[in-house]
Amino acid sequence: MLVRGNAEGIWIEMLTDLENRCFKAEYVGENRIGYTQPDRSIYKDKEKKYLPVSLVEIGRGCHHNCAFCSIQAYYRGTYIHRDIPEIIAEIKSCKHKMFFFVDDSIFSDWKFSQELFLEVKKLDITWTTQVTLDIARDEEMIRLMAESGCVMILIGFESIDSANLRQMNKGGR
Ligand code: SF4
């Protein structure tokens, strides 16, 4: 059995088929993020010592095409994202004020991320995420991130040798 694509839209069908022992050879999920608000009930178990950080997904994919990366193997340089009102509603529903946006490249859609950060700026939160170094070329975006509560970013440099970076197809826009 082969499962391709984003799982949300096919998960229930697939589990039901498995239960009924009538599964198909292949399930193909749509290229979209198939939930609005995730079920956070598992975090209510007080016995589990989770970090006091809320994890929220903004989008999936990346505008780069690094040769070694599973993200590019799947998304091929494309990026999909959730709607901003859904994201803001989820942030407001979380109990912690510190957030990790669990994205691979949060500003792959420049205009969308600007609109998002303007909305996040209205909330009293701090956040961190992963970005690529080409954000250093956009001072306005960096300022907007800081104003909206960004206190730390994670960057994978891979190499400081430009020949190595070219070999990996890790370039800027
Ligand atoms: S920049 Fe990062 S996430 Fe994007 S393709 Fe390269 S390694 Fe993958």
Could you report the per-residue pLDDT of 44-93, keeping only the tens digit for each?
777 778 888 999 999 999 999 999 999 999 899 999 999 999 999 999 99
Q: Is the CB of 129 under 6 A from ligand 1?
A: no
pLDDT of residue 143: 96
Task: State if residue 108 touches ligand 1 by the CB under 6 angstroms criterion.
Answer: no
What is the percent of the chain with per-residue pLDDT over 70, rounded to a whole number?
A: 98
- Burial of residue 158 (CB within 10 Å: 0-12, 13-18, 19+) is middle
The predicted model scores a pTM of 0.88
Which long-range CB contacts under 8 A does 40-48 form with residues at least 24 apart?
A: 40/93, 40/94
**Domain ranges (residues) in the chain:** 1-30, 38-167
Ligand 1 atom closest to Cα of 170? Answer: 6
What band does 31 get if pLDDT is binned at 50, 70 and 90? confident
| pLDDT greater at residue 1 or residue 91 | 91
Confidence tier at 172 by pLDDT (50, 70, 90): low
Provide the CATH topology of domain 38-167. Answer: TIM Barrel (3.20.20)
| Ligand 1 midpoint to CA 62 (Å) | 6
